[in-house]
Amino acid sequence: MSGANPHRDPAPAGARLRAHAARALARIVFDGVSLRTVATEAASLVTDPRDRALLSGTLFAATRWWLRFDAALARMVARPWSGKLHEVRALLVVGLAQIETLGLPDYAVVGACVDATRTLGHPRHAGLVNAVLRRWLRERSALGAELDHDPVTRHAHPRWLIDAIARDWPAQADAILAANNEPAPLTLRVNRRRGDRDALRARFAEAGIEAEPHARLPHALILPHGGEVSRLPGYVEGWFSVQDGAAQRVADLLAPADGQRVLDACAAPGGKTAHLLECADIDLLAIDRDPARLPRLRENLERLGLDAQIRVADAARPDEWWDGRTFDRILLDAPCSASGILRRQPDVRLHRRASDIAALAAVQEELLHASWPLLAPGGRLVYASCSVLRAENEASVAGLLAARQDARALDVPDTFGHVAGAGRQRLPGEDGMDGFFYALLEKTG
């Protein structure tokens, strides 16, 4: 057509959004890229805030329910999928997630997905996408009932994880699996050095933003709806950080006091580092072995008006960096399976494998043993993880207690969760928080 812009994408906006979602989902599922990474990249392609919110919600829902909806495709598509059709396969799961999980209008989703097939460069498969989605609409009750027979497709969790949760938490297994499939609320931690919860809540109210105080956390606010955090009042001024309530309890348990020397042994991206600095005037050393993660930690502290020593260092190799001065407090927030935060990171269920657990447990125990000599007599160490699996939590702590005569476990209050060996385990969804393990250890001599 005369005067047309040759660079303009002729596809409708809805089709472009579904195409973005399908490309991103395919990278998560088939390339092993993290949801956080692809969601950030995909959001940069969308200008309208409402479309960005829909894109984010779609990616989380499609990732969370991939194991269910992809199994549904296997019942509706006779031929095996070619690797060249990863994006078409992902597009169909995007469509099913928008219909079943997000509750978008059925036929609007079908039409947009058919158009998105062409946007993705697969026009020959537009008929397939149309037929599969319409078949789902006709047969959704029967197909859904069939999927519900298998725990894997009912809960959209890999079988090994379902079995591990059932073994470790038999009475709570169904509740854990259900909580993992519920979107998590946006929880903020108020920076007490900049203001208090009531003042921040008032700022939000002036901007028409609903926020409720957390019943168990004096410095926490809960926002029922997510969004672009950096646009919230007070963010730039460092009035708050995003941090789940379970993670906020870590600093409460470590309870640093003014003048103490503190080590945050696996610090990046710095949420707990900042919280410790907000709690007391301490001399804090924050280390992490991955140099790529430290710039974000520095940026977080700068925004919040906080200061710490920050070093690239491996907590498992203190001979390479430790100056011989002991610490009064040590936080070891250990690398783990992240099995307690699947509601926030649903891609974990697709990327983690059963064989990872033993390897992670070995790393956790190595970090505990390496950190213990750095603790001063009478000092305290908090071992924490965002896992719900006993092999990563109480077993790791038990290994240290068995090997060190100068180590003893102190009581962790019952407000931290269920008894789990020498520590406590909060399970996903309890008190609106993530799954988290806590142990408090003291050096006796």
386 is catalytic: yes
Q: How many helices (H) and strands (E) does the chain have?
A: 17, 13
Q: Give the residue from 183, 177, 163, 106 showing the smallest Cα distance to 140.
A: 106
The SS3 assignment for 103 reads coil
What gap in Å lies between CA 433 and CA 245, rounded to an integer? 5
154 class by beta-carbon count within 10 Å (0-12 exposed, 13-18 middle, 19+ buried): middle
- The residue type found at 324 is G
Query: What's the CA gap between 256 and 67, in Å, rounded?
Result: 43
**The tokens 């949420």 sit on which residue?**
271
Q: Which of 266, 279, 336, 386 is catalytic?
A: 386
Q: Is 273 helix (H, G, I), strand (E, B) or coil?
A: helix
Report the greatest alpha carbon distance in the chain.
85
> Edge to edge, what strands does the sheet with 186-190 contain?
212-213, 220-223, 186-190, 240-242
Residue whose entry in the numeric block shows the structure tokens 């799954």: 435
What type of residue sits at position 327?
F
Residues 220-242 as b/e (b if ≥16 CB within 10 A, e otherwise) read: bbbbeeeeeeeebbbbeebbbbe
Contact present, 34 and 346 (Cβ < 8 Å): no
Question: Closest Cα partner for 426 from 224, 214, 250, 162?
Answer: 250
Tokens linked to 66: 């991939």
Q: What are the catalytic residues?
A: 386
